[in-house]
């Protein structure tokens, strides 16, 4: 009981010190306004485009040949945890005959987190062309988007393209890219 009386006395003392104007203002004010936090939504519904610098290792010829390349991608973040994406990658000197190659795929990207740091997995189907052959491939990978703003993100991606019909058309890709997201209204 003493604690309740002490708390009541402290509250009464603060009320008395604040003055009668404060008391009148608080007793007549009946509405409460809640301000929005203004925090950015990094996982909003958006279309996006990206540009990647990449390295690829061709493991199909057992040469573990490293090649460089570039990639472009476009996608739609249709849910905070899911995006659909199409990508195209060009590889310079991909095989032992120093032939160039390319791949294109359609991917699904499930996102684990939706804040400023967004790890993801990816799975897709596509086509890999590098001389002397080409084949349909499955594409598996993971990476993350580090959001700089609501519209700009950077991040790495590691993927493996595996051709079920051929051991010669399997490659690892390591990409570092930048992405621009445009909000869908």
Asked if the structure places residue 2 within a domain, the reply is no
pLDDT beyond 80 at 185? no
Asked if the structure places residue 50 within a domain, the reply is yes
Asked if the structure places residue 112 within a domain, the reply is yes
pLDDT beyond 60 at 87? yes
CA atoms of 152 and 133, how far apart (whole Å): 37
pLDDT attached to residue 39: 79
Asked if the structure places residue 5 within a domain, the reply is no
pLDDT beyond 60 at 29? no
pLDDT beyond 60 at 9? no
| pLDDT, tens digit (0-9, with 9 covering 90-100), for 62-86 | 566 788 999 999 999 999 999 999 9
- Reply yes or no: is the peptide bond before residue 131 cis, omega within 30 of 0: no
Asked if the structure places residue 160 within a domain, the reply is yes
What rounded mean pLDDT belongs to the chain? 81
Asked if the structure places residue 30 within a domain, the reply is no
User: HEC states along the chain?
Assistant: CHHHHHHHHHHHHHHHHHCHHHHHHHHHCCCCCCCCCCCCCCCCCEEEEEEEEEEEEECCCCCCEEEEEEEEEEEEEEECCEEEEEEEEEECCCCCCCCCEEEEEEEEEEECCCCCEEEEEEEEEEEEEECCEEEEEEEEEEEEEEECCCCEEEEEEEEEEECCCCCCCCEEEEEEEEEEEEECC
CA atoms of 83 and 114, how far apart (whole Å): 12
Structural domains counted in the chain? 1
pLDDT beyond 60 at 8? no
pLDDT attached to residue 112: 95
Asked if the structure places residue 15 within a domain, the reply is no
pLDDT attached to residue 55: 94
Q: Report the CATH number at residue 161.
A: 2.40.160.20
Q: What is the pTM of this model?
A: 0.75
- Of 68, 50, 73, whose CA–CA distance to 178 is shortest? 50
Asked if the structure places residue 117 within a domain, the reply is yes
pLDDT attached to residue 170: 84
Domain that holds residue 137: 46-183
| pLDDT, tens digit (0-9, with 9 covering 90-100), for 100-154 | 889 999 999 999 999 999 999 999 999 998 766 788 999 999 999 999 999 999 9
Angle between the N-to-C axes of helices 2-18 and 20-28, in degrees from 0 to 180, rounded to the nearest 10: 100
């Amino acid at each position: 009981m003493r604690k309740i009386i002490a708390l009541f006395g402290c509250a009464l003392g603060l009320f008395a010190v604040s003055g009668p104007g404060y008391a009148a203002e608080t007793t007549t004010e009946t509405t409460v306004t809640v301000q929005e936090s203004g925090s950015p939504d990094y996982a909003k519904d958006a279309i996006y485009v990206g540009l990647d610098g990449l390295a690829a290792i061709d493991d199909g010829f057992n040469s573990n040949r490293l090649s460089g390349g570039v990639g472009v991608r476009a996608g739609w973040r249709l849910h905070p945890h899911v995006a659909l994406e199409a990508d195209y990658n060009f590889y310079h000197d991909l095989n032992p005959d120093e032939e160039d190659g390319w791949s294109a795929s359609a991917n699904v990207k499930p996102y684990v987190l939706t804040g400023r740091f967004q790890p993801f997995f990816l799975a897709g189907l596509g086509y890999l062309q590098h001389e002397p052959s080409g084949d349909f491939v499955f594409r598996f990978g993971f990476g993350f988007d580090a959001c700089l703003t609501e519209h700009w993100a950077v991040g790495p991606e590691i993927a493996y393209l595996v051709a079920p019909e051929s051991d010669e058309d399997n490659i690892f890709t390591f990409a570092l890219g930048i992405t621009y997201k445009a909000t869908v209204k």
